[in-house]
Structure 1
Amino acid sequence: MAPLIALVGGTALLWLLGLAGVEALDWQTSLRGGLALMFLLTGVVHFLPSWRRDFAAMVPPALPFPYLLVTVTGVLELAGAAALLFPPTAPFAAAGLALLLLAMFPANVSAARRGVPLRGAPATPLPWRTFEQAVFVAAAVLAAL
């Protein structure tokens, strides 16, 4: 839920600042800022010990080196967040992050089906995970345009 709040809240705040007269903040720049906030949040938690263990448990058992995969996805999320804030690279970063989200979705499905908890909370139900992922991918695609 926190990533969705970061995306929507960050985008809305930046968009409202744009409406208030900050010239550089059109809807797409605001969306890119909201995405950057979301991926900064999700990228950082990949490296916090308790989150890291939970993320590694989410990796489907058929994939090798779950901690390495958590590290790689965390680095990609952080790099993508930074690249979203630099106009020449923003469209490429958004497209790359959309692809990353699609690539990570099977891990979300696997975690939901296996009932993998996150920070002690019950596994997020698959319909809600699917909805969130669709929102994130759609936002990244729109930010890439």
Structure 2
Amino acid sequence: MAPLVALLAVTTLARLAGLAGVDSLHGWSPALRVGLAALFVLTGVAHFVEPRRSGLIAMVPPRLPRPGLLVATTGVLELAGAVGLLVPATARWAAAGLGLLMLAMFPANVSAARRGLTLAGRPVTPLVPRTALQIMFVATAAVISFGP
């Protein structure tokens, strides 16, 4: 739920800053870029900080090799994508890459929900709400990639 809060709160604050005269945040697209970047900074850092890291490693489907390396790699990609979102020249490509990354990682969320895993002592988000969130996050990335 924290990623959703980050996306909504930071997007709203960025949009308000744009309305207050910050030219680089004028319009919804730049505000969404900042909000999505905040989401990915939050989730990317979690790939390296306990107890979240251990939970994310446990979420990797058992048939995949080297779950620790996969979690570290996706964390680096999320953080790099967040930076890319903040650079207007790379924002569309970063959003597209992050959208594809979210689609690639979604099976881990499905696997974790089906196995009833916990993340940092809490049950992972159930599959139906998690799917709805994932659709929202991927849609946000698509709006940035293909929008104005």
**TM-score, normalisation: structure 2:** 0.95
Identity %: 61
What residue in structure 1 maps to residue 10 of structure 2? 10
After TM superposition, the structure 1 = structure 2 runs for residues 11-26 of structure 1, keeping only pairs within 5 Å, are: 11-25=11-25, 26=27
The yes-or-no answer on 1:39 pairing with 2:22 is no
CA distance in 2, matches of 1:13, 1:108: 29
User: Whole-Å Cα distance in 1 between the matches of residues 37 and 99 of structure 2?
Assistant: 13
- Structure 2 SS opposite 1:124: coil
User: Structure 2 matches for 1:1-145, cutoff 5 A?
Assistant: 1-25=1-25, 26-145=27-146
Query: Residue by residue, what CA displacement relative to the aligned partner does 1:76-110 show, whole Å, maximum 9, x if unpaired?
Result: 00000011111111100000000000000000000
Q: Report how many aligned residue pairs link the two structures.
A: 145
Q: Which runs of 5+ in 1 are unaligned?
A: none
Runs (5+) with no aligned partner, structure 2? none
- Which letter does structure 1 place at the counterpart of 2:20? A
CA distance in 1, matches of 2:5, 2:144: 17
How far did residue 122 of structure 1 move? 1.7
User: Helix, strand or coil: the match of 1:49?
Assistant: coil
| Structure 1 outlier segments of 4+, above 3 Å | none
Q: Distance in 2 between matches of 1:64 and 1:116?
A: 19
- Provide the TM-score with structure 1 as the length reference: 0.97
